[in-house]
Amino acid sequence: MAEMTKFWYLENFNLFKELNQESMKELGRITSMQEIAKNQPIYFPREPSSSLFFLKKGRVKLTRISGDGKEMILALVNMGEVFGEMAYLGEGERNEFATALDDCIVCAINKDEFKSFVEQNPELNLKMTRLIGLKLKRYSERIEGLVFKDAEQRVASFILKLADENGKKIGDEIFVKPFLKHQDIAELTATSRQTVNSILTDLRQKRVINFDRKKLIVMKRDELVKKIG
Amino acid sequence: MAEMTKFWYLENFNLFKELNQESMKELGRITSMQEIAKNQPIYFPREPSSSLFFLKKGRVKLTRISGDGKEMILALVNMGEVFGEMAYLGEGERNEFATALDDCIVCAINKDEFKSFVEQNPELNLKMTRLIGLKLKRYSERIEGLVFKDAEQRVASFILKLADENGKKIGDEIFVKPFLKHQDIAELTATSRQTVNSILTDLRQKRVINFDRKKLIVMKRDELVKKIG
DNA sequence: AAACTTCTGTCATCCTGCAGACAGCAGCCC
DNA sequence: GGGCTGCTGTCTGCAGGATGACAGAAGTTT
């Protein structure tokens, strides 16, 4: 299953890869590149969703805020991934915040222009559906985690996924460089900042991981896997 | 936003509506109708996902089971909806249980045949993507509920949604006929059977709802809405 | 109609993890 | 360098809700 996910991931990354010269040129025409500084918003809830985005550089977080002001992170978007894709489906308004976690470069693609572009390149149809399907699968796993797992397991799964997706393997340790603050991890794993801290500290004390404000090192990947069960 | 969801729902329902005679005939050819008795499984996790299903009659639940045997309901499928659609995306194996909640009639459509059918009827492309997108949106709302809401609010939201989607309005009360057992509601709202019972009993005592084993009546819809916030 | 099984209703108990408070650090700006 | 501001580390009390146990009601089977 992990393999399948990876397969899909690569396909997303290559959403436009098999396009011919002609189409790539056209794609360039309907695309506008934007630089977005760290911590700056890309879009807001209730804003009309007029375009979808392809993330060329940096990381983006998609968040929702509850009636009483609590924030949760719906998803992290990594380089090479697409976000704001509900625009493509005719969803009229954004229903989350998109915020740059680093200095980012994004390509904005107008939804209507993209729609006709897809019509002219019908091989993109299935790819777009798969892209949405991949997100669906991720969300279903997220739901499962929220229901079945306790705070420690959720944080452990998160670290594992982060390491596998964004880490560099050096020897049998995995380094993750631009780390997140504990508050962000809390918002991703539906727990509190304090609980995240105590779980991380505990894992560090057991020599499963090591970390400081900037980086995370997974030292015993299998211990994490064991913890999740 | 509720309107948008309804709009999409209708579109799914009409997935095949605009097809011409010719295509409908072809669709009939690649479709096989099956009757499934109450409580009988339709598919299992790890089973090859060779087809997708269109639910003509009855209700279906999609569930996952954790390593230690706890069950959760991922989604309820109502008449007119599609399920098992990940097959269409090339996902090799099912990753949930699908079980008939009532006596059901489903149409099974082989995924490869369906793919070529969609190629011949390209207007279905966007519809399929939207169908998946709708589920994505539902799941994101589910995640939000799990993170932001407490047990009472989750159960209240569930009842509200059930009433709005499946209920019959009579006067200013809403009747929902084939009700679920408390255990099912617990598995849908990520809480325990006992907690569901006490929340329902409490709402009944406050005359917001009424219920017995067979049916549910929402008496004060606005009280439910208020509770969710 | 009797014997089962499955669901509902209710309690008492226990525990995970949240919330508040505060001290120590690091980075940043003046 | 000094003073902000934002992040981390730790402790404590508290509460929402899980769990187990059991009795009664409703369906099902024979």
pLDDT along chain A (229 residues), means of 10: 46 71 88 91 95 93 93 94 93 92 92 94 92 95 96 97 92 90 96 97 95 93 92
CA distance A153 to A170: 25
Gap from B5 CA to C10 C1', in Å? 39
Burial of residue B205 (CB within 10 Å: 0-12, 13-18, 19+) is exposed
| Percent with pLDDT over 90 in chain B | 78
Q: What is the pLDDT of residue B10?
A: 45
Cβ atoms of A94 and A111 within 8 Å: the answer is: no
* Chain-chain contact of B125 with A130 (C-beta, under 8 angstroms): no
Segments of chain A assigned E as strands: 31-36, 41-43, 51-57, 60-65, 71-77, 82-83, 97-100, 104-110, 168-170, 173-176, 209-211, 216-218
Nearest protein residue to nucleotide D25, judged by CA and C1' positions? B213
**How far apart are the CA of B157 and the nearest CA of chain A, in angstroms?**
15
Which of B66, B91, B139 faces A139 most closely, judged by CB atoms? B139
Interface of A with B (CB under 8 A): 1, 4, 64, 66-68, 70, 72, 74, 86, 88-93, 95-96, 115, 122, 125-126, 128-130, 132-133, 135-137, 139-140, 142-144, 146-148, 190, 229
Q: Could you list the protein residues whose CB lies below 7 A from any atom in strand C?
A: A 150-152, 190-192, 194-195, 213-214; B 181-183, 193-194, 197-198, 200-201, 212-213
**pLDDT over 70 at B9, yes or no:** no
Does the pLDDT value for residue B15 go beyond 70?
yes
Cα(B6)–Cα(B130) distance, integer angstroms: 13
pTM to 2 decimals?
0.93
